[in-house]
Structure 1
């Protein structure tokens, strides 16, 4: 009798866990939460476009372009940028439709909560932490390097131990080794503290600062491109697609591998969707901000990459500062200083956009009970989540100052592509579950109906491209694992297990949806 009760209880517990992870948030609840979030609605369409541009143009063009060209694609890196842009564009269409009919701060997290349930929503939220939070640390680390170099040019030398992470990786024949030393990236910590202070003071004030920074950094990049036109060597573009050397080194496979690397350079445009609750007219302005910022960034990327490859042989670009190498080839000392200033200031706006996105995702998750209520506390004076901003800023600062960020860039791309795929699926699910729902913006290209199920062309292509972006990353990860280098695979597994532990240990029990279910029963 006792054993049967235990078995029955165990089955009920398992069923309850499955049911809790599958519970969805009703659309009317989404609308009600949008009306009562307490955040200040002040962002215009132009500010949203500039938020996307400011969050996107940064480390991708200043750092990753050179590595992707030298290691994988050569001059055909331009095609890689187009492929990565297409992967983002179809997802941007999906974001635009969802944001126009569900203007909430949580971005992909909130969309997944409606379409796939709480467990999937938590998974997406955890992936967004990888996308935004870890990306913040990577950007802050890069900003530290450029700022140190800029200060050094003015005669202010920063000791190495104050701008390097405590834990660093050293590649070798036996795999990646980890070293620990008396180092602390104080420069990155100061940068994060400054940006967090801007965000805590108010979204409108942060938006004004972002406009100035975006104008400066985009202007610097176009000055670089203009000067580069006078120093082009067309022979450097030949062969446009270098012969394959096996694996993902050059040839057509290299183009797609490079696309998966620079895919990371586009992720900032998604931050616009996290600003829906603070937009003046979210149903109109958020789609404009998402798609507009993506198109502008793609144009800038292709222009700068074309000049970069035409000024310096791609074999010489596997460095942390490829634009600096190109400027040296132009023999323009003043331009070198200008590019350094543009990179330092520009990375500040990227850091601002990514921190903003992470804080707003946690804000929405906190209102759902999945993370601490501290993240959703709104300061009545600034109308911003000041406590959440401080917490996120401190965590990102400590991660940047101590952890080796360079080995997880591929993991960020994996997390981002997965979240993008879920967003595209949500559009398909919403069209079938709520076909009559008003949609001020609809995905283009229409769709087909298969056995009564509508499948949109744009969302389906978005899912396909998400898979294309992740396949080379997983292949390389498994090859590294088979070759005795398990670092990336272990990090991915550890991150996934840690996220599951938090959900089942805290989030599932404190979920407001779960409490509602208990009241109903």
Structure 2
């Protein structure tokens, strides 16, 4: 998928990512479908990751004795058992610090479980740290890409340094016995479902996929790049390769420091380091790295979505307000604020237990379409200039589309139902507004 994105980015160096590429190869209807799914990848992902950031930020403050009131550190609703929406509680101890253990999920627990753990349940009102993070990053993005890039470079440098420290020092204490067997044997649960084994690896793939989204966000800033035909393919492929290598090394270190059965907690990196007293000093740095790293993820997601809306608006598929550019900062300011406010509402008030798989589903659909688009355009217009060419076409596009579609099929039924509802809302919007106001539609009506 990365190779296919790189070819399109070098050919069509304008904002819009997969939406623009689909528009150029498969028409307006498919482009709208992809653009609508990209809302899941960028806007919803920004809200989801900001909640994770809030958890690490609160934990970091707890370590220095500063406790955010529990009611203002969690949303009023949460999801348990993968499908049940309940009133959210934050479980706190006598000092007001959040109780974090294997029975919690992002510090949200139902009342009985909290009481049994010796804590006091406090009903959530709003996830204020997540709201303030999105608000600050939205303001930064309105001011300009250069300011945002400087901030992002700083936090990425902090994150990378800490990741490399964990990998470097962690490998010194790895117990290779923890890697045997490397893939644990499949286990059947009392309800008949299974876990572990190769089937578990394949079912986990679309969930882990959430970690890899974002390399395509490079293409959303194409019009603000100095040499997009060269820089975009390099940025996409290099970032994807670097992240993949770091993810593999970090996973090896974590499972080498502690048994995999000890890592099913909200703070797995810290849990792995806790198994080795000599690495205790790294735990504090990990929280700092998580706060820095997740903030940069939210920044990139909040940057990408307004630029996709900007391109869709220029094509007439969204109201003109999304295409307005700030007279001073030359950024899509109105669109950025709209995206930021929606992300704030999602992060602050709504349950996010299902959004990870929902985001993966929407992104997988976009990736599959881009792979197919490269194949289609090679067959339809082989003469077009391609500064970067995907190798081994059609093999690479077929493998890319096949792998992403296969991972989509592994998503649970509830996620498919939500994706179906989201698609229905999107297509209704297209037929009621987009189709009637699209640039292509008006041109065809004028010719008639």
Aligned residue in 1 for 2:102: none
Q: Is the 8 A contact 2:130 2:344 kept in 1?
A: yes
User: Aligned pair 1:462/2:372, yes or no?
Assistant: no
TM-superposition CA deviations, 1:226-245 (whole Å, max 9, x none): 22123211111111111122
User: Aligned pair 1:429/2:369, yes or no?
Assistant: no
User: Aligned pair 1:159/2:69, yes or no?
Assistant: yes
d(CA) in 2 for partners of 1:240, 1:407? 29
d(CA) in 1 for partners of 2:38, 2:416? 19
d(CA) in 2 for partners of 1:362, 1:203? 17
Q: Is the 8 A contact 1:106 1:360 kept in 2?
A: yes
TM-superposition CA deviations, 1:497-516 (whole Å, max 9, x none): 21122111221122122111
TM-superposition CA deviations, 1:253-283 (whole Å, max 9, x none): 1121222221111011110111111111111
d(CA) in 1 for partners of 2:361, 2:231? 29
User: Aligned pair 1:200/2:138, yes or no?
Assistant: no
The gaps in structure 2 that reach 5 residues or longer are: 89-122
1:105-124 paired onto structure 2 within 5 Å: 105-124=15-34
**1:328 is matched with which residue: 271, 274, 278?**
274
Q: Is the 8 A contact 2:74 2:124 kept in 1?
A: no
d(CA) in 2 for partners of 1:250, 1:472? 15
After superposition, the CA RMSD in angstroms is 1.5
User: What is the CA-CA distance between 1:467 and the residue it aligns to?
Assistant: 1.7
Q: Is the 8 A contact 1:100 1:284 kept in 2?
A: yes
Q: Which moved more, 1:244-253 or 1:462-471?
A: 244-253
**1:256 is matched with which residue: 188, 202, 214?**
202
User: What is the CA-CA distance between 1:494 and the residue it aligns to?
Assistant: 2.2
d(CA) in 2 for partners of 1:375, 1:150? 37
Aligned residue in 1 for 2:262: 316
d(CA) in 2 for partners of 1:248, 1:371? 44
TM-score, normalization by structure 1: 0.76
Q: Which moved more, 1:356-365 or 1:511-520?
A: 511-520
d(CA) in 2 for partners of 1:154, 1:501? 51
User: Aligned pair 1:306/2:271, yes or no?
Assistant: no
- What secondary structure does 2:410 align onto? helix
d(CA) in 1 for partners of 2:200, 2:40? 25
Aligned residue in 1 for 2:60: 150
TM-superposition CA deviations, 1:436-468 (whole Å, max 9, x none): 1111100112x4xxxxxxxx1111111111122
Aligned residue in 2 for 1:403: 350
Aligned residue in 1 for 2:389: 442
Q: Is the 8 A contact 1:374 1:388 kept in 2?
A: yes
Aligned residue in 1 for 2:424: 497
The gaps in structure 1 that reach 5 residues or longer are: 1-90, 448-455, 478-486
Q: Is the 8 A contact 2:215 2:239 kept in 1?
A: yes
Q: Is the 8 A contact 2:80 2:353 kept in 1?
A: no
d(CA) in 1 for partners of 2:147, 2:350? 31
d(CA) in 2 for partners of 1:488, 1:213? 33
d(CA) in 1 for partners of 2:225, 2:42? 20
d(CA) in 1 for partners of 2:196, 2:81? 22
- What secondary structure does 1:134 align onto? helix
User: What is the CA-CA distance between 1:156 and the residue it aligns to?
Assistant: 1.4
- What secondary structure does 1:406 align onto? coil
TM-superposition CA deviations, 1:133-192 (whole Å, max 9, x none): 1111110000011111111112211011111112212329xx624326551011101000
Aligned residue in 1 for 2:115: none
d(CA) in 2 for partners of 1:431, 1:149? 51
Aligned length, in residue pairs: 409
Change in Cα spacing, 1:117 to 1:341, as seen in structure 2 (3 Å) is same
- What secondary structure does 1:156 align onto? coil
Aligned residue in 1 for 2:45: 135
User: What is the CA-CA distance between 1:489 and the residue it aligns to?
Assistant: 4.4
**2:172 is matched with which residue: 230, 254, 257?**
230
Q: Is the 8 A contact 1:167 1:403 kept in 2?
A: yes
Write 1 or 2 for the structure with the bigger share of helix. Answer: 1
Q: Is the 8 A contact 1:170 1:179 kept in 2?
A: no
Q: Is the 8 A contact 2:70 2:124 kept in 1?
A: no
1:19-38 paired onto structure 2 within 5 Å: none
TM-superposition CA deviations, 1:95-144 (whole Å, max 9, x none): 11111111111111011112111111110001100111111111000001
Q: Is the 8 A contact 1:147 1:344 kept in 2?
A: yes
Q: Is the 8 A contact 1:248 1:257 kept in 2?
A: no
d(CA) in 2 for partners of 1:513, 1:162? 48
Runs of 4 or more consecutive aligned structure 1 residues displaced over 3 Å after TM superposition:
487-490
Q: Which moved more, 1:464-473 or 1:134-143?
A: 464-473
